[in-house]
Amino acid sequence: MAVILGIESTCDETAAALVRDGREVLCDVIASQVAEHAQYRGVVPEIASRAHIQNILPVLREASESAGVALSQVDAVAVAHRPGLIGSLLIGLTAAKTLAWVLDKPLIAVDHVHAHLYSVMLHGRGGKEKVMPQFPAVGLVCSGGHTALYRLGSFGEVELIGSTIDDAIGEAYDKVAAILGLGYPGGPVIDRLAAEGDEKAVRFPRSYLGRQSLDFSFSGLKTAVLYHVYGVPGKGQAVPRRDPGLMESPGLSDEELRDVAASFQAACIDVVLEKLKRAARRVGAKSVLVGGGVSANRGLRAALTRLGLEVFLPDRAYCTDNAAMTAGLGYAAFAEGRFADLGLDAITYSQFAR
Ligand code: KG4
Ligand code: ZN
């Protein structure tokens, strides 16, 4: 039996978790910064770094207390060291290195995006064990920072086979929510509105990027929503000069808002399902794993059951950023003795090679 401490600070959540044998989440403490960033309708890196500094020690203390496990009793410290915002990454990484050094524990380097895929294996304290997916599998991470398709030979053998060429899908949700004056983050509120709207009300474009492509593009869809709401430039109604994301509300009725949300979501889901089918054919996949913040979306989760493939989704608690997935994937490295040294670097989004 091994208990791994996971630490996550790649973007705007400061999180620490203790996970037993890569499966059972003993505690999963997350300090969210949504309130600090909401007025800017997106993450402000400098604010995020400062909040991580304030949150990291209280979060670690709370994790240890709520699990009833002293940090000195853990078997290893796993940290998400890539990809992310540099100032944010450095706080979690420094805390992890310090703990590993002071407590004389092995340090484990975890890729945040790969960890999102591992989250399908996590269950709560005393919960039912998750079934191990069959490999090779297709993995899709759909979050605020990523829309990426992978071929998985195992959880540790991950090959990128497709990604977004512009906006990530969660970013599109957040920007469309801003266009509609719905606040930040946009995913959960669009999810809620879409459930009550008519997805056929507006036929927004689906971008498939050619018949074979496994890449994604969401910026055209986002612009189509903008034009639908504010009018097409040069065709009578002018798009407002100000950034529409900074406007309070486009003046749509509640019914129109629900219909636009549902129609936008339907376009996203169509594209995701088509790309998953293509990827599964290409890889000869025995199963499909989906993780990341957008995998919490109820419309997408329902649609995935119609894919005709065996689909593995995380419990909703483990879809958005958390440290349990870091500890979980860290356990796989622990079991194989793959440890990092104290010189481990933080790797940002822009340094991140495809
Ligand atoms: O995985 P995550 O917490 O952070 C990144 O690694 O990016 O994902 C955050 C993203 C945000 O864009 C948020 O709007 C989206 O996930 N999201 C959702 C839902 N919950 C969160 N998108 C659609 N439906 C949801 N229910
Ligand atoms: Zn994430």
Determine the atom of ligand 1 nearest the C-alpha atom of 292: 1
Determine the residue of 12, 85, 142, 143 to mutate for testing ligand 1's pocket, defined as the one with the most ligand atoms within 8 A of the Cβ atom: 143
How far apart, in Å, are the Cα atoms of 282 and each of 66, 170, 231, 245, 277?
44, 25, 40, 38, 9
Phi and psi, residue 320, nearest 5°: -80, 175
Closest Cα to residue 174, out of 163, 196, 189? 189
Determine the atom of ligand 1 nearest the C-alpha atom of 13: 3
Please give the pLDDT value at position 40.
84
Determine the residue of 110, 320, 325, 326 to mutate for testing ligand 1's pocket, defined as the one with the most ligand atoms within 8 A of the Cβ atom: 320
Determine the atom of ligand 1 nearest the C-alpha atom of 177: 14
Please give the pLDDT value at position 231.
84
pLDDT tens digits along 129-160? 999 999 999 999 999 999 999 999 999 999 99
pLDDT tens digits along 235-281? 665 555 455 555 567 789 999 999 999 999 999 999 999 999 999 99
Work out the mean pLDDT of the chain and round it to a whole number: 94
Please give the pLDDT value at position 345.
97
Task: Give me ligand 2 centre to Cα 318, in Å.
Answer: 10
Tell me the ligand closest to 183's alpha carbon.
1
Give 324: exposed, middle or buried? Use CB within 10 Å, 0-12, 13-18, 19+.
buried
* Whether the predicted pLDDT of 234 surpasses 80: no
Determine the atom of ligand 1 nearest the C-alpha atom of 265: 23
**Cα gap 143→293, rounded to integer Å:** 5
**Cα gap 286→293, rounded to integer Å:** 24
Determine the atom of ligand 1 nearest the C-alpha atom of 291: 1
Q: In one letter, which amino acid is 26?
A: L
Tell me the ligand closest to 314's alpha carbon.
1
pLDDT tens digits along 72-96? 999 999 999 999 999 999 999 999 9
Spell out which residues line ligand 1, taking CB within 6 angstroms: 11, 143-145, 170, 173-174, 185-188, 191, 292-294, 296-297, 320-321
Strands (E), the chain: 3-8, 13-20, 24-32, 76-82, 107-111, 123-124, 137-142, 147-154, 157-163, 287-291, 311-312
Please give the pLDDT value at position 354.
43
Please give the pLDDT value at position 82.
97
Q: In one letter, which amino acid is 285?
A: A
Task: Give me ligand 1 centre to Cα 274, in Å.
Answer: 21
Q: What is the mean pLDDT of residues 175-185?
A: 91
Q: CA-based diameter of the chain, in Å?
A: 68
Determine the residue of 10, 110, 173, 298 to mutate for testing ligand 1's pocket, defined as the one with the most ligand atoms within 8 A of the Cβ atom: 173
Tell me the ligand closest to 112's alpha carbon.
2
Task: Give me ligand 2 centre to Cα 239, in Å.
Answer: 33
**Cα gap 35→42, rounded to integer Å:** 11
